[in-house]
Amino acid sequence: MYTLSWQPPYDWSWMLGFLAARAVEGVETVDASSYVRSLAIGEHRGLLTAVPDPQTHSLQIALSPGLQPVAAECLAKIERLFDLRCDPLRVSDALGDLGAARPGLRLPGAVDAFEQGVRAILGQLVSVAMAAKLTAKVARRYGETLEDAAGYVCFPGPETLAAADPVELKALGMPLKRGEALIHLAQATLNGALSVTPPSDIELGVKALQTFPGIGRWTANYFALRGWQAKDIFLPDDYLIKQRFPGMTPAQIRRYAERWKPWRSYALLHIWYTEGWQPSVDGEIAGAK
């Protein structure tokens, strides 16, 4: 058993609910008190279980024998997924009233940037539930069965999907172009065109992503938000964000969000998950004058 810690407050109910809604069957199992998933790191395969303990501000991690040799890498991945290094007081100070109702909100990351890229592409123009089901089909079709955990598969790596047939991917329930986009993403991961670690210049990294087939501005930014766990991403042309800022153009929304730098990713989450939130009256920024 391994232990990771975090600084309170931490809204575990929200975090586990967020991940549960997006859980990929066969790869992840998420309930109100735990997160379980398969992992493949190099030649090592196994199952990881994470259970938060709010009383001690710790996360208890259990690794199956296959992952013990790469325990440090497993813990680093979980630390990123759950945003355990976040200093909530710094974020709260920057967000002000926006973050007051949910000071324990954290930024959900990812255990693997390539996996998150696949999820982002498959999540285009479909519901969260449909995206999870389609991703599960890809994982079942191309993932490696986990021998010591019945019912689990490891998410397929770029080596596997780079060699996939786009027609076979289409048969799983996606447009042909989307299958081709997955293959290109896998090839870009292998040749280094896709950075699997956060680039020094996130903005340039997001622009580079938009040159990939099948990846537009929204998908590139969402990937940066989750895959790179970039702290200062905002999505002014997101459907729900535009609803929260009625009458404002994406450019006006972007200017309004400048007030939350360098924590705009957290501001985005708070706006998404605060029903009825409205921007404050600000004529110069909101374009009311």
- Residues 185 and 117: beta-carbon distance below 8 Å: yes
- The rounded distance, in Å, linking the Cα atoms of 228 and 165 is 28
The answer for residues whose C-beta is within 8 angstroms of residue 72's C-beta and 6 or more apart is none
- Is 11 considered catalytic here? no
- Residues 287 and 249: beta-carbon distance below 8 Å: yes
Catalytic residue of the set 112, 148, 238, 282: 238
- Catalytic site positions: 238
